Amino acid sequence: MRKFFQEIKADLKFKTAGPGQKLSEPSRAPREKPKAEVAPKPRQAPTDEAQRAAAAALARLELKPKGKAPSSSQETIKNQVRKELMAEAAASEKGLSVEEEVREMLPEEGAAAPSVSGVYFICPLTGTVVRKDQKEKQLREAIQAYFSVDPVAASIMEIHTFNKDREKVRVCVETMAKYLDNIYLHPEEEKYRKIKLQNKVFQERISCLEGTHKFFQAVGFETKTLPVPGQGKNSTEDFYVLKEEVLSRLEELRGCKEQLLSSEPVRARLHRQLTLFQPSPAAARFELPHDFFNLTAEELRREQRLRTEAVEKASMLRTRAMREKDEQREMRKYNYTLLRVRFPDGYILQGTFYARESVSVLYNFVREALRDDWLPFELLGPGGLKLTDENLAFNECGLVPSALLSLAWDAAVMADVEAAAEERRSPLRPELLAGAQTLS
CATH number, position 225: 1.20.58.2190
- pLDDT-based confidence at residue 334 (cuts at 50, 70, 90): confident
Per the CB < 8 A criterion, the answer to whether 96 and 104 are in contact is: yes
Q: Are residues 235 and 346 in the same domain?
A: no
18 three-state secondary structure: coil
Q: Are residues 339 and 236 in the same domain?
A: no
Per the CB < 8 A criterion, the answer to whether 337 and 355 are in contact is: yes
Q: Global pTM?
A: 0.64
Lowest mean pLDDT among 57-66, 205-214, 380-389, 398-407: 57-66
Residue 285 reports pLDDT greater than 80 = yes
Average pLDDT, the chain: 77
For residue 244, what pLDDT is reported? 93
For residue 72, what pLDDT is reported? 41
Q: Are residues 172 and 243 in the same domain?
A: yes
Q: Are residues 226 and 360 in the same domain?
A: no
- pLDDT-based confidence at residue 230 (cuts at 50, 70, 90): confident
Closest by CA position to 335, among listed 309, 317, 353, 351: 353
Euclidean distance between CA atoms 111 and 285, whole angstroms:
5
- Give the best-scoring range by mean pLDDT among 40-44, 104-108, 110-114, 225-229: 225-229
Q: Are residues 139 and 234 in the same domain?
A: yes
Q: Are residues 127 and 252 in the same domain?
A: yes
Residue 282 reports pLDDT greater than 70 = yes
DSSP H helical segments within 42-165, as ranges? Answer: 48-62, 74-93, 98-108, 135-146, 151-162
CATH value at residue 343 = 3.10.20.90
Domain boundary residue, one of 251, 269, 287: 269
Question: pLDDT tens digits for 69-79?
Answer: 444 444 554 45
Q: Are residues 222 and 346 in the same domain?
A: no
Q: Could you tell me if residue 110 is inside a domain? A: no
Q: Are residues 161 and 241 in the same domain?
A: yes
Q: Are residues 385 and 251 in the same domain?
A: no
Q: Could you tell me if residue 248 is inside a domain? A: yes
Q: Are residues 217 and 341 in the same domain?
A: no
Q: Are residues 349 and 252 in the same domain?
A: no
Per the CB < 8 A criterion, the answer to whether 61 and 5 are in contact is: yes
For residue 292, what pLDDT is reported? 84
Residue 240 reports pLDDT greater than 70 = yes
For residue 290, what pLDDT is reported? 82
- pLDDT-based confidence at residue 96 (cuts at 50, 70, 90): very low
Residue 16 reports pLDDT greater than 80 = no
Q: Could you tell me if residue 291 is inside a domain? A: no
- Work out how many domains the chain is built from and give that number: 2
Q: Could you tell me if residue 314 is inside a domain? A: no
Q: Could you tell me if residue 275 is inside a domain? A: no
DSSP symbols for 172-235: HHHHHHHHHHHHHH-TT-GGGGEEETT-HHHIIIIITSTTHHHHHHHHTEEEEEEE-TTS-TT-
pLDDT higher for 133 or 306?
Answer: 133
Q: Could you tell me if residue 418 is inside a domain? A: yes
- pLDDT-based confidence at residue 57 (cuts at 50, 70, 90): low
Q: Could you tell me if residue 425 is inside a domain? A: yes
Burial (0-12, 13-18, 19+ Cβ within 10 Å), 397: buried
When pLDDT is averaged across residues 341-358 and rounded to a whole number, the result is: 95
Domain boundary residue, one of 218, 242, 269: 269
Expressed as residue numbers, the domain containing 376 is 332-438
CA 173 to chain centroid, in Å, comes to 31
Q: Could you tell me if residue 313 is inside a domain? A: no
For residue 329, what pLDDT is reported? 54
- pLDDT-based confidence at residue 103 (cuts at 50, 70, 90): very low
- pLDDT-based confidence at residue 27 (cuts at 50, 70, 90): very low
